[in-house]
Amino acid sequence: MPERRLSEIAQTLKQPTGIVGSEFVKVRKAAGAAGIHYDLWQQGLLYLLLARRADGKYACGEGGTVVSSCRQIGKTFTVGTAMFMLAILHPGLKVIWTAHHTRTSDETFADMCDLARNKLLSRYVERIRRANGQQEITFRGGGRIMFGARENGFGRGLHSVDVEIFDEAQILTVRALDNMLPVVNTSPDPLVVFLGNPPKPGDPSEVFEGKRAAALAGTDGMVYVELAADRDADIDDREQWAKANPSYPKRTSETAILRMRNLMTDDSFRREALGVWDAVSSHAAIDPKRWADTAVDEPDRDGLVGYALDMPPDRSSLAIGGAIRHGDGTMHVELREFRATQSAGTMWAVDYITEHWPRTASVAIDAQSPAAALLPDLRSRGVRVTVTNAQDMGRACGMFQDMLRDRKLTHLPDSRQPALAMAVANATTRNIGTGGAIGWNRTGGDIDISPLVAITLAMFGVRVTKRDPNRRQEVMI
């Protein structure tokens, strides 16, 4: 079977604009001298991964490179050998290679150690450290490739890293990404690579799904490669096997694939052997027509006022949601404030709530929200905060859906609150417990739903509060 280019076999291929050249030319030359040769599809992938813009920076430096494929395709060999060459070509380069499981990390480290024993390449290796949790290859030029498992906390505390490889990216959690991504912030020209397979049901795949969604939406500044069979393909079609796995049958034998075919369910085989993502059946949590129909330009602002604060997992923004409960039980919600924390910090929100507290019926913050870090400051200012839990969140989201359906909820037009509109349009639901309760969820790692969470909790707080700052007090002298 003749070799095919990456563009000929990729189910989806997205590349950044502004490419003027690629460092792969030097990498291929160095690898070739050591007896390492890349197939055409591997050459295409590495060309894009190492592509440069006119300013000399990596073209995918903003969004990274994402590869989704089936297993046993050779992506670890492809990227691993390229990183080895880069560490030789760039003295002082620091690379971290992290997988979710220790077993995967150990296997990758072992493969790279085999590479270090190459007669030509061994002269560039200073030493190999094999201690558990501190596995690394150090090069004579000062470069290092470090290996570790995210499940063991690898990567925390590291700094000044130039390249991050996230293996098993389909089980890369938002928390793990938040912990590890800042280590490349000080690099003048960082590279971030995500290697994964289509996630199984139940995998914590929010990051990987978010990167895929961003690529399919046309986000620039990133490379996205999806190698997969056609979605409606006959799963026993050998041509589809070759389309999904370009190493078949040259390096991945028919016996190896047949073993998976015989031992796996059809759905598992599509994911694991053919690289096909499960059909996305999730739908918007909030009906767009109902949301549009309940928008008002001049809302009724008489009633009890409540606020709530929320932040996304990466703490990049802070939202203050507001809700007004009217005497007839209806409500009006607004996004009162929404600011980026990098430029504005968070204390402005404490000042805002403190200023409005005398005329406020309730202030709510979820116990699991990053905004809970503001609780001590708010309490020191005399603000009594309702701290909600998962059960409260389920009740709040259910109340929101019911009131929207019954047209007992109003809000400002989307044009006046674009951040809230974006959150509403991109929110899905997640199960809370086993009793049917739901909470808001993000469609991708780049979506910020904190404005929606804030107004939802503001509604809940003002519904359950017993505080009424508008009540007249009878004073007996």
Q: Which regions of the chain are under pLDDT 50?
A: 281-282, 473-477
Whole-prediction pTM value? 0.64
Question: What integer pLDDT is reported at residue 281 of this predicted model?
Answer: 42
Segment 432-445, tens digit of pLDDT: 776 778 889 876 55
pLDDT at site 443: 63
Compute the chain's Rg from CA coordinates: 26
- Provide the pLDDT for residue 291: 93
**Count of alpha carbons within 13 Å of 450, Cβ hemisphere only?**
28
In the chain, the domains with their CATH numbers are 6-272 (3.40.50.300), 288-464 (3.30.420.240)
The answer to whether 195 touches 167, Cβ cutoff 8 Å, is yes
**Distance from CA of residue 312 to its chain's centroid?**
12
Q: What is the pLDDT of residue 223?
A: 97
**For position 472, what pLDDT does the model report?**
55
Q: Which 3 state secondary structure label does DSSP give 15? A: coil
Q: What is the pLDDT of residue 1?
A: 61
Query: Alpha carbon of 130 to those of 147, 270, 402: distances in Å?
Result: 10, 36, 58
Q: Which of 47, 105, 26, 108 is nearest to 74 (CA)?
A: 108
**Can you give the pLDDT at residue 471?**
73
CA distance 313 to 237: 43
Identify the DSSP state of 133: T
Distance CA 386, CA 338 (A): 20
Sign of the CA dihedral 362, 366, 370, 372? positive
Residue 282: the pLDDT is 46
Say if residue 70 is exposed, middle or buried (CB neighbours under 10 Å; 0-12, 13-18, 19+): buried
Cα 113 from Cα 408, distance rounded (Å): 65
- CB distance 377 to 348 below 8 Å: no
